[in-house]
Amino acid sequence: MKTHFQITAKQLVLLALMTAVFAASAVVLYDRFSSALLGRLAGAKPEKATIESSSVAGLTDPSVATDEKNNQEVYRALSPGVVNITSTVMVRDWFFEAYPKQGTGSGSILDKEGHILTNYHVIQEAEKLVVTLSNKHEFPATVLDADADNDLAVIKIEAPAAELTPVPLGNSKEVFVGQKVLAIGNPFGLEGTLTTGIVSGLSRPIRSEISNRLIEGVIQTDAAINPGNSGGPLLNSRGQMIGINTLIYSPSGGSVGIGFAVPVDTARRVINDVLQYGRVRKPRLGIVQPIQLQPGLSRALSLPVSEGLLVVGLVSGGPAEKAGVRGPTKEVQIGRYIIPVGGDIIVGVDGHSIKSQDDLDRVLNSKNIGDRVQVEVMRAGRKMTLTVQLAELPGAARRRT
């Protein structure tokens, strides 16, 4: 005997609604999670967040607030995001006995995960790093990576998110001479010190004392910056970081109103690389320490040009070697020096004249990994143009051009 089921019109409508809800939920779930799921199945690594520009909540519009009120509000909101960094390095005395020596600097909290931006020279060669928050809580820190050429580093602490106040990034392209700025840091170990001033100059090229490379676009300020301020933020009146306080010009060692900050747009590239790839990535040609030509040297070597970069070494398998750039074929002695010769002489890149390492750095700093550049070289008295695809160099070769 067969059993027959009858569905009423009301039940049919209810079944249709339930089916529609189920289908809609499936579409939403697929739209939200499918790309990540498929990426994981394909072996892709999940993307890491990058640090973007943001604003500070609760600040009175600087255009209507008094200068005193703006100083107070910015300091109250952002000083918890500025940390003190104590580094311990091992040095040797006259008797070659090793002993620990401590130094201090400042840094800016970037996110709730404990990433901190500072100067490379603050953490250089440190055996131990300790970060002290504004609430006096201390945490050991690890160095994730650094960009010695721009004197920047990203370190990390494991601290409760509730204790971390991120300092928002601004845009250094919008900075102008005469703009009000505020510097927060720990000069001479005096934690949470605020100084104010204006932007005194822009695009000041300064040479890194670490790598001897030019840092481009540096911001000059008369806000008092002293030893211990290094790595701390230079803020605009909206509480956004526009620079990283790096060094001062001072015959006495104290502030004389000439301080310099690395622009935040340079720092942003470093930060995003470290967060996404775990390291700072730079586009390179793969040329090893080229020699900058001078008229006297060119005459001594009987070269066809008096200016340019003489290629004396290539990274094996690097971009320049793959593109056909030639290295030295022999060595000659000039006085007490042995000079590799016979290699190409770089005289231009993408239409820019190359007379020095600084010229080449300036061009490469505006490029990305994977970009193709037109490299003009002199070879055997004849000018040639080679297409080189810039790449990140592995391991020990990363410090090369």
In this structure, what CATH number is given to the domain that contains residue 358? 2.30.42.10
Same domain, 172 and 95: yes
115 catalytic residue (yes or no): no
How far apart are alpha carbons 96 and 91 in whole angstroms? Answer: 9
The answer to whether residues 13 and 87 belong to one domain is no
Last residue of a domain, one of 30, 46, 62: 46
Q: What is the pLDDT of residue 208?
A: 77
**What pLDDT, on a 0 to 100 scale, did the predictor assign at position 20?**
55
The DSSP string of 296-317 is: HHHHHHT-S-SSSEE---B-TT
Full DSSP string of 190-233: -TTEEEEEEEEEEEEEEE-TTT-PEEEEEEEE-S---TT-TTPE
Look at the chain and report how many structural domains it folds into: 3
The pLDDT of residue 189: 78
Residue 153's pLDDT band (cuts 50, 70, 90)? very high
Across 315-339, average pLDDT: 91
Q: How confident is the model at residue 273 (pLDDT cuts 50, 70, 90)?
A: very high
Q: Is the pLDDT of residue 114 over 90?
A: yes
Residue 91 has pLDDT above 50, yes or no: yes
Residues 34 and 151 grouped into a single domain: no
User: Are residue 147 and residue 23 in the same domain, yes or no?
Assistant: no
Shared-domain flag, residues 256 and 321: no
- 32 with 67, same domain: the answer is no
Give me the pLDDT at residue 92, please. Answer: 81
For residues 238 and 283, what is the distance between their CA atoms, to the nearest angstrom?
34
Same domain, 189 and 73: yes
- From the CB of residue 393, how many other CB atoms can be counted at a distance below 10 Å? 21
Of 106, 108, 208, 230, which is the active-site residue? Answer: 230
- Residue where a domain stops, chosen among 238, 256, 281: 281
Q: Is residue 230 annotated as part of the catalytic site, yes or no?
A: yes
The pLDDT of residue 159:
95
Residues 230 and 351 in one domain: no
Q: Rg of the chain's alpha carbons, rounded to an integer?
A: 28
Q: Is the domain of 28 the same as that of 53?
A: no
238 part of a folded domain: yes
The pLDDT value recorded for residue 393 is 78
pLDDT score at 106: 94
Check residue 42 and give its pLDDT: 34
Q: Read off the CATH number of the domain in which 187 is found.
A: 2.40.10.120
Task: Give the model's confidence band at 16: pLDDT under 50 very low, under 70 low, under 90 confident, else very high.
Answer: low
Of 115, 147, 149, 151, the catalytic one is 151
Determine the structural domain holding residue 193 and report its residue range: 47-281
Higher pLDDT, 109 or 252: 109
* pLDDT tens-place string over residues 49-66: 566 667 788 889 998 999
Q: Do 83 and 205 reside in the same domain of the chain?
A: yes
Query: Is the confidence at residue 374, as pLDDT, over 60?
Result: yes
Residues 54 and 35 in one domain: no
Domain for residue 286, yes or no?
no
Q: How far apart are the first and last CA of the chain?
A: 88
Q: Is 121 a catalytic residue?
A: yes
| Cα–Cα dist 62/1, whole Å | 86
Enumerate residues 6+ apart whose C-beta is below 8 A from 230: 105, 106, 118, 119, 121, 122, 185, 245, 246, 247
Q: Which of 121, 208, 222, 344 is catalytic?
A: 121
In the predicted model, is pLDDT for residue 29 greater than 70? no
Contact 151, 120 (CB under 8 A): yes
Question: Is 296 within the bounds of a domain?
Answer: yes
pTM to 2 decimal places: 0.77
For residue 138, give every residue at least 6 positions away whose Cβ sits within 8 Å of its Cβ, in sequence order, or none. 130, 131, 132
Band of the pLDDT at 207, cuts 50, 70, 90?
confident
**Does 371 share its domain with 255?**
no
pLDDT at 191: 83
User: Quick check: is 363 in a domain?
Assistant: yes
How far is Cα 333 from Cα 56, in angstroms, rounded to an integer? 62
Q: Mean pLDDT over all residues of the chain?
A: 84
